[in-house]
A = this chain, B = another copy of it.
Amino acid sequence: MANSTSGDSVTDRLVRVLSTFTPTRTVQTAAEIGRRADLPSSTAHRLVGELVDSGLLERDDDRRIRIGVKLWELATRSSHALRLRQAAMPSMERVQARIREHTQLAILEQDEALFLERLSGPESGSNVTRIAGRLPLHAASSGLVLLAFGDRELRERILAGPLVRTAAETLTDPAALRRKLAEVAALGYAVAPGYIEAVSTGVAVPVRDETGTVVAALSVVLRRDAVIEPALVELHRAAREIGAALGYRR
């Protein structure tokens, strides 16, 4: 077909269109979408038009495009992410209420930590994490847990780099990261002081399903100078509860 420049499937083009939307870029024109998705203008306009007709994208009064509620609904109502998040919510709420800092649930997704949930209170400190946002595995405390308890192949792939620096204290030296991961595996939790932001310390523990497999990381973002023990006690207890809740399939 004339508009298919590189033999990629319609699904590929759809993913490229959806990928142009980000947490900080929630509305765009069809022309902007086409440029950012690297699609010919006519293809972009036709595809965006179809997606608006189907409700997956929405067009506002200024003819700008945003993600449709219908896409969120279809993606969410039967998703695995929702099941895990539902199992975790009661325990996460208690951690947030007691520690009063950001409380987060992350899974491994394509070599990054993908955050399924983030609960925050009015007193919670600085935090860059967003729901459905990602962070590099070697930088976030959640990522260190997923990496330390993940398979060896994943670990070697990440250690092979590149290890991006997200803050002055991020571990970007492979040897230092390897020692850190051995420590996380031995301790059963990860502490990441200043790895993401100089003012914060991430603390994370693994969440295991009924087979003992680590399926997620539960974390809090503390002030840099906070004592971590109270948070660790709450996180470990919550992780055990979430694992048990995952065992009861509904």
Contacts and interface: CB of A to CB of B under 8 A. Distances in A.
A69 B74 contact: no
A61 interface: no
A67 interface: yes
Contacts of A5: none
Contacts of A82: 72, 131-132
Interface string A98-141: 00000000010110001000011110000000111100000000
B76 A131 contact: yes
Contact of A122 (B74, B77, B90): B90
Contact of A114 (B22, B73, B90, B119): B73
Interface string A15-45: 1001101110110000000000000000000
Contact of A79 (B51, B55, B69, B93): B69
Number of copies: 2
Interface string A156-200: 000000000000000000000000000000000000000000000
Contact of A77 (B54, B80, B130): B130
B131 A74 contact: no
A77 B47 contact: no
Contacts of A93: 93, 96-97, 119
Given A67-B75, A74-B21, A79-B69, A54 B15 contact: yes
A11 interface: yes
B74 A15 contact: yes
A30 to B, nearest CB: 14
A193 B63 CA distance: 42
A210 interface: no
Nearest to A23: B77
Given A97-B97, A122-B90, A77 B11 contact: no
Contacts of A22: 77-78
Among A55, A96, A131, the most chain B Cβ lie within 10 Å of the Cβ of: A131
A70 B109 contact: yes
A210 to B, nearest CB: 17
B74 A80 contact: no
Closest CB pairs A-B (n = 10):
A77-B132, A75-B75, A76-B132, A21-B78, A11-B50, A18-B74, A26-B78, A10-B10, A71-B75, A72-B79
8 contacts: A9-B53, A11-B51, A15-B55, A19-B74, A69-B80, A69-B81, A72-B79, A89-B120
